[in-house]
Amino acid sequence: MPNSAAASTPEDTAHRRDRLIEIIKTRSFQSGKEMTLASGRTSTYYFNMKPTMLDAEGAYLIATLILDSISDLDADLVGGLEMGAVPIAAAVAAVSQTHGKPIAAFFVRKQPKDHGTRSLVDGLANGESLKGKKVVIVEDVTTTGGSAIKAAEIIRSEGADVVRVVTVVDRQESAADAFTTASLTLTPILTLADFKP
């Protein structure tokens, strides 16, 4: 196992946040034209996070900032609803190994597989389950919170404890109330305010 990396200082975290904002502005953010979001709402601010999540530096920064934000938790697994959570969870798992405190990843399918185990939860080895595990849900962009809440319902039905939801960008719309109602704690890495002029 690699040596545990030194804990991030507040300055490290601030620098990583600033750099991640730059990358998102360059690769994943658009403003001006009204666009329809995954939630069905429309906005003049749009995030397509895939170009950032699949960028080497972007993925590393997202993973490191998420690990910093959950360092107070003794989480067993990190994951969420496909597709947005998959690259994030994979990056967090990989970077966690270099920090000396590995956290495995998984994802929740929107529909059960039509073959094999037909499970909604994927990424666990044969014989493994979520039962009794402490789970962090991750997602790329949060608007209403629907994707994370759906993932939480499935994860809880499998016997896991959802200890936190971490989003890369919180659009600061109605998600906070929805998470409170669902007894979930949301921690955003960035918010829409970080991208407004």
**CATH number of the CATH domain containing 31:** 3.40.50.2020
> Whole domain around residue 167: which residue ranges?
10-194
Residue 6 has pLDDT above 60, yes or no: no
CA-to-CA distance for 181 and 91, rounded, in angstroms?
A: 29
Q: Is residue 2 part of a domain?
A: no
**For residue 191, what pLDDT is reported?**
96
Q: Is residue 190 part of a domain?
A: yes
CA-to-CA distance for 75 and 41, rounded, in angstroms?
A: 33
Q: Is residue 1 part of a domain?
A: no
pTM: predicted TM-score of the whole model, two decimal places = 0.90
Count structural domains, the chain: 1
What are 28-82's pLDDT values in tens digits? 999 988 877 777 778 888 999 999 999 999 999 999 999 999 999 999 999 999 8
Q: Which two tokens stand for residue 159?
A: 């016997």
Residue 115 has pLDDT above 80, yes or no: no
Q: Is residue 180 part of a domain?
A: yes
Q: Is residue 4 part of a domain?
A: no
The terminus-to-terminus CA distance of the chain in angstroms comes to 44
Q: Which two tokens stand for residue 168?
A: 């890369």
Residue 3 has pLDDT above 70, yes or no: no
Phi and psi angles of residue 166, each rounded to the nearest 5 degrees, phi first? -120, 125
CA-to-CA distance for 95 and 132, rounded, in angstroms?
A: 24
- Least Cα distance to 37 among 175, 136, 160, 182 occurs for 175
Q: Is residue 3 part of a domain?
A: no
Rounded average pLDDT over 137-146: 93
Q: Is residue 5 part of a domain?
A: no
Residue 1 has pLDDT above 50, yes or no: no
